[in-house]
Structure 1
């Protein structure tokens, strides 16, 4: 018999969701079977799949030891990652990091352990704020993602309650994220709200954009304003607000209206990219504002606060523009 004592980061979860993370080797069909057979109990009593766990609850598992074998990893992957981070803001609940271009946020097909989340977990481990051996189902986690070749602000939750609140706020679009980008060509309209129709192609990993609805398409809305112009090189610096959040939205939408991003290998102009020796899209998520319209619980203190990256590589290089 194994016993788990539910801590603050585990509380509020359904029994099945908790066990999927706490005992990952236990197949779901057996999990459900053992619940029916009362081989999984909470506080000595029968529980259901939907039972919500509370802090201090004791879960007893009368299941084979084989499902717990290897439960303590030899060496967590995050310990192989550096601890170097560009931290914009940190408190007891969250970290805001300025992710530089070239760093992935999570492990991908390359198999590299040098990811943003691994760096953050290693950093918190060194500070004594994250002890994986004391956690049953939680690890510090990212609340938003940015592509490898895009830089900008990424939010990490240090505890389960902050993760729950922020995931909901992101879903409800109660966070404003502004981007900076460089377009090849200077838009005639110095500010605009663009609407088009978007569809992702999983085979080519690109998107199709049209001014008219088509089967399978979804509406996308992009707002921009021109901040600076480099007329000699025919480049413009834009601030962009995503009203919707579609795959490659900024890159594809601006290319669709005739102003592709400098350095963009998928939607841009390779001849121009080579001429400027720019090998990644000039795109940066540079400003984050918390705009809560519903209760944020323990994170209410963040409401109305804005955070901004101070140095974006293409601003001064092409425009002499300082943030």
Structure 2
């Protein structure tokens, strides 16, 4: 995409990365700070044209289309992030992999992936503050706010499309580490209970096991270490339902440590006394085919120091 430096009128030439998008969605991302209502008004009045012709919001851009955008009297500065500079600086240290197509970060626990629902600042906003020159930064997938670990962000629309296709075709492998209550049987390698979302009157969302009306779900497990009263397991979600790993652990009698929604109060109290202040669920690794090189790429995220410290305090179960 090339842009004219003229302050009065802006010309943008669409390239293959942006082709296929609706023009209204493209303009919302390109004209930062311009309200969507104003974009629709400019399109309606013909102040934004494609190849010198008026166009509708649902028009899909074609490679080499030329957009003419009339002068817009709106500040296009990015939202201020002064109160979040420490968060932004910390996130820079959490980048595990970066090239011209992708960023993979080790998302901290307690940080939402994006603003909204009472959170005005998330990972994606912090990354946009870190990379103001990036034309596009979009989440490839999501992690619960309290879950840490590997999170992939696309820098190009082609990379986003490619990785979404891999996710749909189950070509992406995500492995999680979780500390759960009790002794997880080495024979329990697969949980397939159906899951259903329920919205409570308070507005809180909970997921329950429902093998009749719930969505088909599958998580595969492997025991990594038995401790006295707890087990460190590796979880591989074959499907990607909301709170899937957490509810599948709970329904088998092994809730995850520090889970304020599906946890066990007594177990959580024990873990808290040892210093646990968060959900012990961590996206330890992600593996996928790189959109450009077509080579398999595996990125691993180390456990944060507080979780490593907790594990060292637990007593390992002696092998028979």
Listed as ranges, the matches of 1:242-257 within 5 Å are 242-257=237-252
CA displacement 1:75-102 (0-9 Å, x = unmatched) = 5335653232211111121111001212
Q: Distance in 1 between matches of 2:293 and 2:69?
A: 40
| 8 Å contact kept, 1:181–1:237 | yes
**Post-superposition CA distance 1:128-179 (Å, at most 9, x none):** x43xxxxxxx432221221221101111122333233223333433211110
| Length, aligned pairs only | 290
Is 1:198 aligned to 2:191, yes or no? no
Shift of the alpha carbon at 1:196? 0.8
Q: Distance in 1 between matches of 2:312 and 2:190?
A: 24
Contact kept, 8 Å, 2:21 with 2:61, in 1: the verdict is yes
The TM-score, its normalising length taken from structure 1, stands at 0.78
Work out whether 1:116 is the aligned partner of 2:123. yes
Within a 5 Å distance, the mapping from 1:58-77 to structure 2 comes to 58-60=66-68, 68-73=72-77, 75-77=78-80
TM-score by length of 2: 0.79
Cα distance between partner residues in 1 of 2:142 and 2:251: 24
Alpha-carbon distance between aligned partners in 2 of 1:30 and 1:93, rounded to the nearest angstrom: 33
For 2:158, the equivalent position in structure 1 comes to 161
Task: Name the counterpart of 1:180.
Answer: 177
User: Which residue does 1:152 correspond to in 2?
Assistant: 149
Comparing 308-317 with 220-229, greater Cα deviation is found at 308-317
The residue aligned with 2:265 is 270
Instruction: State the match for 2:293 in structure 1.
Output: 301
Q: Could you tell me whether the CA contact under 8 Å between 2:20 and 2:60 is conserved in 1?
A: no
Alignment CA distance shift 1:239-1:111 (3 Å): closer
Q: In the alignment, is residue 318 of structure 1 matched against residue 311 of structure 2?
A: yes
Cα deviation per residue 1:108-129 (whole Å; 9 max; x = unaligned)?
344443x32233222223xxx4
SS at match of 1:26: helix
* Matches of 1:124 and 1:93, distance apart in 2: 13
Distance in structure 1 (CA, Å) of the matches to 2:11 and 2:313:
58
2:18·2:157 contact (CA, 8 Å) conserved in 1?
A: yes
1:276-291 residue pairs with structure 2 within 5 A?
Answer: 276-277=271-272, 278-290=276-288
**Counterpart residue number, 1:223:** 220
Aligned counterpart in structure 1 of residue 100 of structure 2, from 71, 89, 92: 92
The answer for the alignment partner of 2:5 in structure 1 is none
- What corresponds to 2:59 in structure 1? 50
Q: Secondary structure at the match of 1:219?
A: coil
Query: What's the secondary structure of 1:220's corresponding residue?
Result: coil
Contact 2:111 2:146 in 1 (8 A): yes
Query: Secondary structure, in 3 states, of the residue corresponding to 2:63?
Result: coil
Distance 1:84 1:188, change over 3 A: closer
Q: How many Å separate the matches in 2 of 1:302 and 1:96?
A: 17
Determine helix, strand or coil for the equivalent of 1:84.
helix
Separation in 2, partners of 1:311, 1:39: 52
Correspondence for 2:3: none
Q: Is residue 14–residue 62 contact of structure 2 (8 Å, CA) maintained in 1? A: no
Summarize the Cα distance change of 1:110–1:163 in structure 2 as closer, same or farther, 3 Å threshold: same
Moved >6 Å (runs of 4+): none
Q: 2:89 aligns with which of 83, 92, 99?
A: 83
User: Residue 303 of structure 1: CA displacement?
Assistant: 3.2
Residues 262-321 of structure 1: CA deviation (Å, up to 9, x unaligned)? 11111111122112213322100011101x4xxx7xx24253221111335435632689
Matching of residue 207 in structure 1 with residue 202 in structure 2: no
